[in-house]
Amino acid sequence: MTLSPVLNRGLGAAALLLAPAIACANMGNLGTTYGVMPSDVATVQALSMFNTQVSTAYYNPAFLARDTRGEMTAGLMHADPNLKADSQNHGTYKVQDDPAQQILLGLRTDLSDIAELGQPLVLGLLLGSEKYSEELMAFTSQTAPYGQYFSHGREPLFLSLGIGTNIWRGLAIGFATRVTLHSDAKLVAHTDLSGNTQYEALDVTAKPVLRPILSMSLDWKETFCPDADCWYNGVETAFAFRGYSYARVSVDANTIIPGTIPEPGLFINLSTIDSYQPNTYVFGTQVKKGKWRTGVALEFQEWSKLEDKLTAGHDDIKDVGDLQFRDTFIPRIGVEYEFEPGIGFSGGIAYQESPLETGVNKEVNYLDARRTIFGLGFHATAQRVYGFKHPVRFDLAYQYHAIGERDFRLISDQTGNNDRVKTDGDVNVFAASISMQF
């Protein structure tokens, strides 16, 4: 996995002690950048809070209780970015064209039989792995003299587990966790000037970190008008909160070079944050009338907290490479039409401002801009498929990101680059899945 930049204070050749440095890698995330399952990709997540598939365990775990049928899902996603920069000094060049490729697995099952609640208790599990499971824990971090995009990198591991239950007629609550890994590595070694080491000691540990997802879902008909036809029949609303999450790698290294760097040696401390996702608040509503289902999701992402996270515990880092972030608001609109039972089309549109506030961030050189996102999808359910005892659903989806133009200044002391660029580009996303309901 190629991640983005290192926010470093520099390393002198004769230095005996380094203050802690912090690194900040790609901020892409499968669930919020593209969508977990094809149905989410197709509607640009506008209807994800009311999705009867297992991906609702991430977007709105309360809605898991709406359908107690079991489900097993397997899917693939391919995101192909074409992100370019028009430079004053170097002409037009591609900043990023390395695709993200995810394998997706999901499981939903009814746990009502193991509890005495007298109501549905449904569990949902989601797993995504980059490069079709070849990069579960891959990690790279680097500075970028010629720029790098902020939010379209790969995510090696996506893992979420949720539970939903009804607490009153039409009113459901849910709780889920977003699981990330925090890893620590310690290295002590004696080395000569040729790099040959001895007396090495290496210790690597990793622990899962759980971040909360809370949601509430309301079916207006079941709650307020269960026995009659009211004007709000088919209307559902939901609210969800997703706590901030990120993967982290911290490295503490101590090297002694006899005759050149004596004890206590050279200390290098590096902490890298990857796949950061901010506190996110989402309000959604859908209206289902006949064969049509229309939904709107209003999403607020609290990116301004990232500055505090980058400088926490690092008093020597004042400006974090001039990086400044702003909170963003994302409106999403989606529609689905089912022209035959189990067969339908869906689509959506969303608009997203960039959380990157500044046009210059020395050495890091993040690039990002506003984007308009379009989605299209198709789904079909086959009641009988040879070799399966239960109905099988097939989903296909396409998503297009039109990224607007934006001016940046790229600065690197390492290469001496001082350039002005205009960026633009697009991203094409393809997704497919097969689900068996039982």
**Rounded to 5°, angle at Cα 127 from 122 and 129:** 175
**CA-to-CA separations, 258 to 53, 201, 265, in angstroms, rounded:** 61, 17, 9
Which of 115-119, 156-160, 213-217, 244-248 comes out lowest in average pLDDT? 115-119
CB neighbourhood size of 244 (10 A) = 18
- On whether the CB atoms of residues 71 and 105 are closer than 8 A, the answer is no
Distance of CA 55 to the CA centre of its chain: 13
Alpha carbon distances (Å) from 328 to 60, 214, 351, 413: 20, 20, 10, 31
Strand intervals (E) in 291-437: 292-302, 328-340, 343-352, 366-367, 371-382, 392-412, 417-437
What's the rounded Cα separation, in Å, for the pair 418 and 82?
Answer: 23
Which of 279-301 are b and which e, b meaning 16 or more Cβ less than 10 Å from the residue's Cβ? bbebebbbebeeeebbbbbebeb
pLDDT in tens, 113-149: 777 667 789 999 999 888 876 766 667 677 888 888 8
- Find the length of the chain: 438
Closest CA to 71 of 127, 120, 125: 125
**What are the tokens at 285?**
């509503």
Q: Tens digit of pLDDT for each residue in 80-93? A: 999 899 998 888 88
30-156+219-245+276-437 topology per CATH: Porin (2.40.160)
End-to-end CA distance of the chain: 36
249 or 288, which is more confident: 288
Tell me the pLDDT tens digit for each residue of 190-238: 888 887 888 889 898 889 999 999 999 999 998 888 887 888 888 999 9
Average pLDDT for residues 323-339, to the nearest whole number?
Answer: 94
CA distance 230 to 130: 47
